[in-house]
Amino acid sequence: MTAWVGTVERTRAGIWLFFVSEVFLFGALLGMRFNLWGNTRPDLDQRLGLLVTAILLASSFFMYLAESAVAHGRRVVFLLSTLVTASLGIAFLVGVVGFEWSGHLQPTDGVYGSVFFAMTGLHALHVASGVLFIAYIGIKGLRGRYTSAEHFGVEACAIYWHFIDVVWVFLYPALYLMGTAVQA
């Protein structure tokens, strides 16, 4: 037990260091947006932006519920919550990649297209990897590998998912709301 706790503590610290590096990565992208776009933004679908934001925020709640359920030994609630979280993650990807990327703004549309696709593309990659991570803990949970005392995999997945959510909280206004809309 002591060895397991020690490993978990080191892994947990490693995860947070990984998030620090991610903050620099997305911070650089946000810096690029403000440098190139200034007080303007491309004219994007506001309803779709609000919808995908709501979907991602709701998914964070179900991830939180999954982690709480596994900590309290509620396996069915855990499995259902992971399923809902992954589904909402896929719905977010469909909204951004399937619909927003099919809009009038294309990667070849100057700085607006380049910045928009770089930021949403990198974030979508993180969401896709998060969905795979959730599927992994869901399968492990289905096999009964987690207990209320030892479920670090679920905790790590939850923190990663919430991090993706926090990143989008900054990306959404930077891409959809800040500045005046211009036709790219």
Partner 1 sequence: MESREHGVFRAALRGMLTLLALAALTWGELRISLLTGGSIPILLLFSIAKAALILYLFMHISRLWRTH
Q: Which residues bind to partner 1, rule: CB under 8 A?
A: 5, 12-13, 16, 34, 39, 41, 46, 50, 53-54, 57-58, 60-61, 63-65, 67-69, 71-74, 77, 155, 158-159, 162-163, 165-166, 169-170, 173, 177-181
Of 109 and 150, nearer to partner 1 (C-beta) is 150
Q: How far is CA 100 from the centre of its chain?
A: 17
Please say which residue, 131 or 167, places its beta carbon nearer to partner 1. 167
Closest residue by Cα to residue 171 from 5, 2, 83, 52: 52
- Provide the 10 A C-beta neighbour count for residue 168: 22
Minimum CB–partner distance for residue 180 and partner 1 (Å): 6
Cα angle 131, 135, 141 (rounded to 5 degrees) comes to 140
Tokens 């207990």 locate to: 147
Smallest distance from partner 1 to CB 145, Å = 19
